[in-house]
Amino acid sequence: MSDSKLAGQFLDAAIGLLERVRDEEAGNIAAAGAAIADTVAAGGRLFAFGAGHSSLAAQDVVYRAGGLALMNLLAVPGTLGVDVMPATLGSALERVDGLAGAVLDSSPARAGDLLVIISLSGRNALPVEMARDARAHGLTVVGVTSVAYADATRSRHSSGGFLRDHCDIVLDSKIAVGDAELTAEGIEAPFAPASTVVTSALMQAMMAAAAEQLVERGIEPPLLRSGNVDGGHEWNGRVMTEYADRIFYRQ
């Protein structure tokens, strides 16, 4: 069987996007890493939020081998993905005004903490209000979004604003409106989305920058090891004990 032309085209497109964010977002990645390091050093807590497929990149940095133990998922029930039935409910909840404020008020997040909000379009009420309300609560907000949506679509929030308008730091994933990298003759819809690949890479780059910043300040980054290597469970147990008051996925 010959190699797939379209598969190769998708991988090339994804690599091209990764090269763009490496080159064009380096300053913002470093700034996000520094903000995370600031929060860790000051005794704050870290949170990540995303709805729908954007939640995948948030989940990928929580309780993760090689990741910061202090990163917690700020979950909004019903919006995490296709585990909710019907799956379309999550999309509907993203457009509900007031939901973000209710979630923040009942969460452990407080002033001095940091929240990474992931939303590809950044146009729905939930991520917009999450960013706005988090900043009002005294959190540092890092947004990971596609700025192209803010330039080419209309906000679904009553303010007319987008996620990018309510963040301290914005990382642009460079994903085109529609989130589909390929078109081909005989296939009616565009296909092959790359947002998960690129957004997850941005999240891990941000975490790497944070670890680098912490070491430069003489602070051991509170990283987790794989539980599938010898000594991993013991290592993780020590880290989780030391930082128990800043880890919420064990409670």
The average pLDDT across 144-156 equals 90
Contact, 142 vs 206, CB < 8 A? Answer: yes
Cβ atoms within 10 Å, residue 186: 4
- What predicted TM-score, i.e. pTM, was given to this entire model? 0.94
The single residue listed with the structure tokens 């917690």 is 72
DSSP 141: E
In degrees rounded to 5, what are phi and psi of residue 183?
Answer: -135, 150
pLDDT of 157 > 80? The answer is: no
Whole-number average pLDDT of the chain: 93
Is residue 1 very low, low, confident or very high in pLDDT (cuts 50, 70, 90)?
A: low
Which of 115, 119, 116, 179 shows the shortest CA–CA distance to 145?
A: 119
Q: What is the DSSP letter of 246?
A: G
Quote the CA–CA distance of 85 and 90 in Å, as a whole number. Answer: 9
DSSP summary character for residue 60: T
Tell whether the model's pLDDT for residue 89 goes beyond 90: no
The verdict on whether omega for the bond into residue 86 sits within 30 degrees of 0, i.e. cis, is: yes
Q: Please state the rounded mean pLDDT for residues 180-202.
A: 97
Residue 181 tokens, joined? 């990298």
Q: What is d(CA 46, CA 70) in angstroms, rounded to the nearest whole number?
A: 6
Residue 82 has pLDDT above 80, yes or no: no
Q: 10-24: per-residue pLDDT in tens? A: 999 999 999 999 999
Residue 209 binned pLDDT confidence (cut-offs 50, 70, 90): very high
Listed in sequence order, the residues at least 6 apart from 122 whose beta carbon sits closer than 8 Å to its beta carbon are 128, 143, 145, 146, 149, 150, 162, 163, 164
Tell me how far apart the alpha carbons of residues 18 and 11 are, in angstroms, rounded to a whole number: 10
Structure token digits, residue 9 = 């085209």
Say if residue 186's pLDDT is above 80: yes
Q: Decide if pLDDT at 185 tops 80.
A: yes
pLDDT of amino acid 78? 78
Can you list the positions of beta strands (E) in the chain? 46-50, 71-73, 114-118, 140-145, 169-172, 182-184, 187-191
pLDDT at position 188, please? 96
Q: How far is CA 175 from CA 65, 141, 171, in A?
A: 27, 21, 11
* CA 242 from centroid of its chain's CA atoms: 25
From CA 134, how far away is CA 125, in angstroms rounded? 14
Looking up tokens 């585990």, which residue turns up? 83
Give percent above pLDDT 90 in the chain. 79
